[in-house]
Amino acid sequence: MKVLLVEDNALTRNTVTALLTKLGHEVVAEAENGEKAVKYFTEFKPDIVFLDIIMPGKSGIDVLQDLRNLDPLVRVVVITAMDQDDVDRRLYDKGVHAILRKPFCLEDFKVLMDELGATTGGPSRRFRDMAAASMEMCMTKLSSLSTGTWNMTGIRMSRGSMDEALRGQALACASGFAVHFNVPCKHPFAAMIIFNPEDIETISRCFLGFSFLELPAATRSQELLFSELANIILNSGINALSNKLKSDHLPSVPKYAQGGTPLLLEALCATLDASQRYSVAAMTINLNCGKDAARSEVLIAIPEILDQALAAA
């Protein structure tokens, strides 16, 4: 794969370049600051960008936004010595694919690049493009129907056994309320959306025009709102998959789960066949409504055989 390396420290640049080269990848350009990063990204069109977040002048976070303005689906790996949950969530919220901690070794890069390879070639590329396109279309429709602006801010891919594919996802949402569907068919798959319950005020005012806090049965109303949004958002991906494969896929009655990320992913795992391999697309979506904002995570998990069918369609 072609890599753009953005790092102000020459020793780190030399180390990363040597490790990537040893693994058979090509570092097409090295940028020591944000201005060169944007220039080289446009010029060399890399598959992956490795980005430091602490640099003189323009920060890595600013560079990330510049790159996303050029390509909303740019694949970015942050290389950093920082290990702070709030910083990680902010980065994932902005569409970062992965975070690589310093100090690192060859094995760290091998695991990461093998996973990234699943998103730049082979069957999962078609799945990724389909999932991203369907979500962007859904966000455009939601924006036209509500008082807020909905955007997909990033997509991350993982592949492997059910456990590897799902637990390989570093979700931006640490916990929340999840709505998930199982889709029974010849090769069953599943989809889930995770909301932050604290965002209910923003979501209800934006989507419906009034606050659920004004209703007597607020708790039940919140569940209904999340369920309705899940129906709209998750079905955008299910419908795109069905149309691409020229077959019907009707989701089951929605199920609910609430708690930390491990518990929510366990609920999704329970609907899938543990003996199969899966491809998982995890998309972060943001709702901006005036000064308020809300964030959700969407996951679509399909068996490898369905992924291959998509590539051949």
Residue type (1 letter), 311 = A
Number of domains in the chain: 2
Residues 302 and 166 in one domain: yes
Residue 110 is part of a domain; what is its CATH number?
3.40.50.2300
Q: In what order do the strands lie in the sheet with 76-80?
A: 26-31, 2-6, 48-52, 76-80, 98-101
Residues 141 and 48 in one domain: no
SS (H, E, C) 232-279: HHHHHHHHHHHHHHCCCCCCCCCEEEEEEHHHHHHHHHCCCCCCCEEE
Report d(CA 149, CA 187) in Å as an integer: 35
Q: What is the pLDDT of residue 225?
A: 86
Residue corresponding to tokens 């590897």: 164
Residues 204 and 301 in one domain: yes
Residues 105 and 225 in one domain: no
Domain boundary pick from 120, 153, 168: 120
Domain boundary pick from 120, 154, 179: 120
pLDDT in tens, the chain (313 residues): 889 999 999 999 999 999 999 888 899 999 999 899 999 999 998 989 999 988 888 888 899 989 888 887 688 999 988 877 777 777 877 778 888 888 888 888 887 887 776 545 455 678 888 998 999 999 999 999 888 999 998 887 777 787 777 765 656 556 789 999 999 988 899 999 999 888 888 898 888 777 655 544 446 677 888 899 999 999 999 999 999 888 888 888 999 999 888 888 889 888 888 888 898 888 889 999 888 899 999 999 999 889 888 877 7
Residues 135 and 105 in one domain: no
Q: What is the pLDDT of residue 285?
A: 92
Residues 99 and 190 in one domain: no
Closest CA to 173 of 234, 258, 111: 258
Residues 93 and 166 in one domain: no
Residues 89 and 207 in one domain: no
Task: Find out whether 278 and 160 touch, Cβ atoms under 8 Å.
Answer: yes
Q: What is the pLDDT of residue 218?
A: 46
Residues 167 and 302 in one domain: yes
Closest CA to 187 of 307, 31, 81: 307
B/e letters for 172-184, b = 16+ CB within 10 Å, e = fewer, are bbebbbbbbbbbe
Q: Which residues contact 228 (CB under 8 A, 6 or more apart)?
A: none
Residue 173 is part of a domain; what is its CATH number?
3.40.1550.10
Q: How many residues does the chain have?
A: 313
Residues 66 and 133 in one domain: no
Domain boundary pick from 97, 120, 143: 120
Residues 140 and 289 in one domain: yes
Residues 195 and 293 in one domain: yes
The CA–CA distances, whole Å, from 300 to 58, 84, 151, 155, 306 equal: 35, 27, 17, 11, 12
* Structural domain boundaries enclosing 94: 2-120
